[in-house]
């Protein structure tokens, strides 16, 4: 199967399985999405969704969050990985948003990436899901599946993102990012599929007999 055929099959299959993929992180606005995505680094979405109700009850906007003391934020999010660093970042970025953007989250990826604790992936998620700007956030899970499906030889998420953007139509990027994540969690898991088990892997590579060793991001 040629790469173009794999691309078309994968897109069709994922759109059929997840026609309207929801954002897995609970949020009510661009600010709460930004904070939730920041918290999700090295932490499950389920864990983030457990701690954010209390946090957002105290502050669901930059103006209020800037007034919350860092130890209070830390107490609430402690069960999330890297919580000391994240609590400081949430406080600092809230103050920057208040001082430089009137408390609003900027719809600009470069401005987002300059905020404390916000990397390219987090900024891309916010651009895609809060502002509807076509983006293709790539995490380690998407990186793994893209290799299994022969869509990239990327040695890192940056290269994988560029490869996926070249392959798939721009209007599909925002949904596709979520669709690949959901498929990876449900069918093509890190341990449950080695490149020879799930339907997409078997269809794309019917003659693959040995497990595929993927390059870590």
Q: Active-site residue numbers?
A: 121, 139
Q: List, in order, residues 6 or more apart from 212 with CB less than 8 Å away.
A: 147, 148, 194, 195, 196
Q: List, in order, residues 6 or more apart from 90 with CB less than 8 Å away.
A: 35, 38, 65, 73, 77, 117
Taken in order 132, 134, 94, 23, the sign of the CA dihedral is positive
User: Do 197 and 149 form a contact (C-beta atoms < 8 A)?
Assistant: no
Taken in order 168, 171, 173, 179, the sign of the CA dihedral is negative
Neighbour count for residue 33 (Cβ, 10 Å): 21
């Amino acid at each position: 199967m040629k790469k173009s055929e794999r691309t078309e099959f994968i897109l069709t299959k994922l759109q059929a399985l997840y026609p309207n993929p929801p954002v897995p992180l609970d949020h009510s606005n661009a600010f709460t999405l930004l904070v939730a995505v920041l918290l999700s680094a090295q932490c499950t979405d389920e864990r983030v969704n457990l701690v954010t109700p209390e946090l957002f009850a105290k502050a669901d906007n930059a103006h209020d969050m800037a007034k919350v003391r860092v130890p209070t934020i830390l107490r609430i999010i402690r069960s999330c990985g890297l919580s000391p660093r994240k609590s400081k970042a949430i406080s600092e970025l809230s103050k920057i948003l208040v001082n430089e953007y009137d408390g609003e989250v900027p719809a600009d990826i470069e401005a987002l990436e300059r905020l404390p604790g916000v990397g390219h992936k987090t900024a891309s998620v916010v651009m895609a899901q809060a502002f509807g700007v076509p983006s293709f956030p790539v995490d380690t899970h998407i990186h793994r599946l893209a290799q299994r499906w022969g869509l990239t030889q990327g040695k890192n998420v940056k290269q994988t993102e560029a490869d996926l953007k070249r392959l798939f139509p721009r209007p599909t990027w925002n949904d596709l990012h979520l669709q690949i994540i959901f498929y990876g969690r449900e069918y093509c898991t890190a341990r449950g599929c080695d490149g020879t088990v799930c339907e997409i892997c078997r269809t794309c590579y019917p003659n693959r007999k040995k497990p595929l060793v993927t390059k870590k991001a």
